[in-house]
Amino acid sequence: MTDITLPLLGESVTEGTITRWFKAVGDTIAEDEALFEVSTDKVDSEVPSPITGVITEILVPEGETVDVGTVLARVGDAGAAPAPAAAPEPVAEATAPAPAPEPAAAPEPAAAASGDLADVTLPLLGESVTEGTITQWFKAVGDAIAEDEALFEVSTDKVDSEVPSPLSGVVAEILVPEGETVEVGTVLARIGSGAVVAAPAPAPAAPEPAPATPAAAPAAAPPAAEAPSAPSSGLVLSPVVRRLISENGLDASTITGTGLGGRITRKDVEAVVQQQAAGGAPAAPAAATPAPAAAAPAAPAPAAPASAPAASPAPAAPAAAPAAGQDGRLPLNNIRRRTAEHMVMSKATSPHVLTAMEVDFEAVEVIRRRHKAAWKAEEGFSLTYLPFILRAVADAIREFPHMNASLDGNDLVVHDELNVAVAVDLNFDGLLAPVVKGVEGKRLRALSQDVVDVATRARSKNLTPDDLSGGTFTITNPGQYGTMMQFPIINQPQVAILSTDGVHRKPVVVTDSMGSESIAIHSVGVLALAWDHRAFDGAYAAAFLAKMRDIIETADWEAELS
């Protein structure tokens, strides 16, 4: 039996939230197959299984946050069986009380398997991440899972991640339910070998226990009943769910979520896709969720009504719509919630001051127009203002190094390397600031490539925890929306953040080489610097911006691109 623990997922990450199990107890899983998804304060990740086997136990349910190193599940070999294999016993007793001694043999393999269960723990998902919330289990107890197959989804203060199973097997136990927050390293579930799936078979082998097989049908009834009580807002989407919705051209608002708090799960989306392919109405996502199967013993007798709940999702859709004039209540996702906490902390920690300066971008604009077609053909993306600004930041910081610093108690730590965090909007569903490393030694082309790379991976949820760590200075870029000037909040423990606002064509006074003045139409924008007054004073901040302005307006950008 192998314990699956929450791995270290990044520098200073100490916990993560299990957002989704891709396998359930009893499922087989292959080595390197996605086992679960974990979310940390930095990034969401799918965690693969380290071995091949069968999931015998899931110790930490979806939604729970645990520490790094916590045993999340257990994976056994082909002969393992899940601990919940004893579940068939009550069914057999209810069906045939007389042959009670015979079902007693069913728990025997489960007991033997308990020694061969592999723990699946919440892995370390990023720097400073110490906990995570299990938002969804992709497998239920008794399900087979392959190594690296998605087992669960976890949400942290930064991102949501699908965590893969570290081994193949059968999900024997799910210990942490959806919605629960646990520390990194917490055991979320246990996985046994492939025999787990076959373990329940001996119980119904007798002629009388045959009805135990239909007992699985009522297991689908509880999910159908739960779905109407938690209609999806359509706004809280995991990276994988968002990708599936986009790839299949679906509208999230039309999908009924069966996950925690009405969250849309991958199975909900897949069910809709299957129904569309079959030409059916998208009313069955609730029935597609096998996770609550453990609750089936609560109502094993009414086998006939099992078909009735299938129709219950239909009335659920009208119930989901709020009455006219009724306020809606949307729970903040982990990224939004942790961002809010960080921003409040930053405002309470640093005495923020804003210094802004108008900058003439005409020299940059001339270069952009001149190289527009060739650049797009070579790189595949447009040449924006941002790499020019990044280069100006790097050059100006050489003269004003205290901008590239952080506060540690009563010490100002001045960093040797310039690592710029670039704020990236996630389609209005949160904000991440992946880091471009070693900016001080890069030219325009490399900076452009790096910015596009981290922004693309941020929006596609392919960042690693290290991509979100180590920043020493931050840039936020609302200028694409034509902003005039924004007062950003410092990214702690840094001491400054630069807002690059909209660049507009406007009349300016220009002076020629002879000192004569005239009015011309130039591309002009504003750079707004929010800084920590504990680190330096206004003159230092203003001088830094003035240096940046001079670089942007007078640098030989043509030579830079050659």
Burial 149-180 (b: 16+ CB within 10 A, else e): bbbbbbbbbbbbbbbbbbbbbbbbbbbbbbbb
The 3-state DSSP class for residue 261 equals: helix
> How many angstroms separate the CA atoms of 364 and 516, rounded?
23
Residue 533 bears catalytic tag: yes
> How many angstroms separate the CA atoms of 164 and 176, rounded?
16
Assigned token pair, 189: 């579930």
> What is the CB neighbour count within 10 angstroms for residue 270?
15
Beta-carbon contacts of residue 130 (< 8 Å; ≥ 6 apart): 13, 14, 15, 16, 41, 65, 67, 68, 183, 184
**Smallest Cα–Cα separation from 121: which of 75, 59, 172?**
59
Phi and psi, residue 499, nearest 5°: -100, 125
Cis peptide before 493 (omega within 30 of 0): yes
Kindly state the DSSP code that residue 194 receives in the 8-state scheme. Answer: T
Q: Are 521 and 366 in contact (CB under 8 A)?
A: no
**Residue appearing with tokens 């059916």:** 280
Relative to beta strand 130-137, strand 15-21 is parallel
In sequence order, the β-bridge partners of residue 16 are 66, 131
**Smallest Cα–Cα separation from 225: which of 302, 169, 162, 279?**
302
Q: What angle do CA 43, 350, 549 make, to 5 degrees?
A: 85
549 alpha carbon, distance to own chain's centre: 37
In terms of Cβ atoms closer than 10 Å to its own Cβ (0-12, 13-18, 19+), residue 104 is middle
Q: Which of 395, 466, 537, 550 is catalytic?
A: 537
The 3-state DSSP class for residue 503 equals: strand
Q: Which of 411, 453, 533, 556 is catalytic?
A: 533
> How many angstroms separate the CA atoms of 312 and 273, rounded?
20
Q: Are 144 and 175 in contact (CB under 8 A)?
A: no
Residue 504 bears catalytic tag: no
Active-site amino acid positions: 533, 537
